[in-house]
Amino acid sequence: MSTCEKKEKGVGVLRNPWLNRGLAFSEQQRDALGLRGLLPAAVSTRDQQVERWKALIAQQPTPLMKYITLDTARMIDEALYFQLVMENVEEYMPLIYTPTVGEACQKFGHIYRAHRGLYICAEDRGHVRDIVANVPNQKVDIIVVTDGQRILGLGDLGACGMGIPIGKLALYTACAGVNPQHTLPVTLDVGTNNEEFLKDPLYIGQRHKRVDDETYYALIEEFVAAVRERWPNVLIQFEDFQNTHAFKLLDIWRDRVPCFNDDIQGTASVVVTGFYSAMRVKKEKLSDQKILFLGAGSAATGIAHLIADAMVEEGTSREEALSKIALFDSKGLVTSRRTDKLADNKLPFAHDYEVCTSFADAVRHLKPTAIVGVSAQPKTFSEEVISLMAQYNKQPIIFALSNPTSKAECTAEEAYKFSNGTALFASGSPFDPVEFEGKTFVPRQGNNSYVFPAIGMGCIYTHAKSVPNGVFLAAAKSLADQVSEEDLGKGALYPPLSEIRELSVAIAAAVAEYCFEHGLAQIERPADLKAAVREAMWQPSDPKFAAGE
C-alpha cells in the first residue's frame, strides 16, 4: 500500500491530508470521489483557500497560536499547507522553525493534537525493525532524527523535541522540493532528565531518566540498521543531540551510511557563507582573519573546522588555519595552559594563550577580526565587547548565532549601535531592519535553512553514498555566489529567503556536482544537472503527490 490509498472515497478522502483538497474539489471530482453533500456547495480555487488560511493565521494573537493554526492547515491538507508556506516563506519560516518552534517544543505535550512521525523508545530494543515496519511510507528518502537532549538553546526536552524534526522536514519540502511523502521525522525516546517534564501529567514521553550509554548506542545501532534495511538509500540527519553524542554518532556513522549532523555541519556551511560574503565587503582573504568563538560545543567546533577547510583551500596549511581560530567556553578561553581536562573536540583549538576568564578580556588579548556567538548565552556580546571589536577593526565581523531570539548574544540594533555602524552582522534568529545615522541596515539570519534542505536534495537526487565535509563547503560557496552587491550594500550577508527555492536549485546542483566528481553518486550524471535537479523538486500541484509516488 502506498502512503495514500488511491481508491479512497467519501469521508476517507476528507480525513486524509495527502488526498484532501477541501473546497477545491471540482464538481466532477466530488461526484467521482463520493463527496457530494459532504462539502458546502461552493467550489474554491487553491489561491482562495490560501487567502482564507492566511487571514486566519494573521488573526492569531501570538506566534505559538499562529504555529498551531498553520499546523492545523497541514493536518487537513498537506498540499495546501506547503503552498501556503512556499508563497509566504519569509513570514512563516520563523513559525515553522526558529524562533517559534522552541516554544512549541517546550509546550509540545500541551499542544499535541495528532500523530506525525515515528517514536522509538529505549524499551523497544529488539523490536525496532517491527516498529519501522509500521511506517506506511513505502519510500523514505530522508529521516531527521533527534533524542531531544539539546533542543536549540533550551536543553533537554525529551520526546517533546519532536517539533524539531517535523519543522526541519517541512523546510526540506518548502525550500528544496523534497517530496513530503518521502520524509520521516523520528524521535528516539530514551528518557529525559528534565524534572519539570517528568512531573508534568501531559508529558508525552517515557517517564524515566535518560538511559545509560550502552543502551543508548545499542538502540541507535538497531534503528540505523532497521531504516537502512527498509529504505537502502535513505539519508539520515542527526539533529539536536548533546555534544558528546553528536560527535560520536557522526564518527561512528559518517563513513558507513549517508548521514550528517546539521548542528555541526549545516550550521558550519551557512556560517562559512557569511564569512565569504564578509570577505567580499572587506576585500580580504578568509585566511587573513582571526576568529574567536563564544561557545565551544558541536556548533562552534563544526564551524571552526569548516572555516579551517576553507582557509586551507586558499593555500594556508592546516596547522596555520587552526592557529587563527580560538574558542571561549564556560570556563574561559580555551588554551593549552588550562589545568582542567578539555573535551576532544576542543583540543585542536587549545593554543598557547593567556588564561582569560572574561570574554571581553579574551577580545583584548587576541584582538580578533571576528567573533562568533554559539553559546546560547544572551547579551554576552556587550557594549564593551562590540566597542572593542570596532576599536581593533575597521569592519568587525559580529555573528550572534544562538537561537531562539531570547538566547541571542546581541541584537542587530546593538551590533550596529555599539560598533558605530561598522559591524558586518549576521544572526541565528531574525531581526528587523535597523536605522542608524541615516542608513538602513538589513541584517539577514544566518539560518541553516539556506543550505540543509538543498544539501539533502542534492544527496537524495544522486543517492549519495556518504556526505563528507566537502559537500558543506560546496554548498557554502554556491550560496555565497548568490549574494548580490546590492545585498552587501545593505549590510546583508545572505540573499533574501524569499528566493529560497531558486537558491536551493543552485546549491543542490553544486552538491550533486560534488558527489559526481568525487565518486559518491549512484546515478548517471545528466547533461544539464541544474535542470534535472529543478525537475526533481516537488511542487504542491504535482499530480503524483496524491498518488503517493
Rounded CA gap, 436 and 337, in Å? 42
C-alpha cell at 437: 545615522
The CA-atom distances, in angstroms, between 104 and each of 92, 423, 448, 455 are 14, 33, 19, 26
Q: What share of the chain is helix, strand, coil (3-state, %, to 5)?
A: 50, 10, 40
Neighbours of 210 (CB within 10 A): 20
The CA-atom distances, in angstroms, between 526 and each of 463, 470, 513, 521, 523 are 14, 21, 10, 12, 9
Looking at the DSSP bridge assignments, the partners of residue 325 are 291
| Among 67, 81, 97, 461, the one annotated catalytic | 97
C-alpha cell at 335: 588554551
**Within 15-133, where are the H helices?**
27-32, 46-58, 63-76, 78-87, 89-96, 100-106, 108-111, 128-133
Q: Closest Cα to residue 327, out of 410, 302, 314?
A: 302
User: Which amino acid does the sequence have at 43?
Assistant: V
SS3 132: helix
Neighbours of 49 (CB within 10 A): 20
DSSP letter, residue 142: E
How would you write 348-378 as a 3-class SS string?
Answer: HHCECCCCCCCHHHHHHHHCCCEEEECCCCC
| Among 66, 67, 92, 168, the one annotated catalytic | 168
Name the burial class of residue 238, with classes exposed (0-12), middle (13-18) and buried (19+) by CB atoms within 10 angstroms of its CB: buried
Please say if 168 is a catalytic residue.
yes
Q: Closest Cα to residue 171, out of 56, 103, 90?
A: 90
The CA-atom distances, in angstroms, between 175 and each of 36, 82, 501, 530 are 36, 10, 5, 16
Write out the catalytic residue numbers: 97, 168
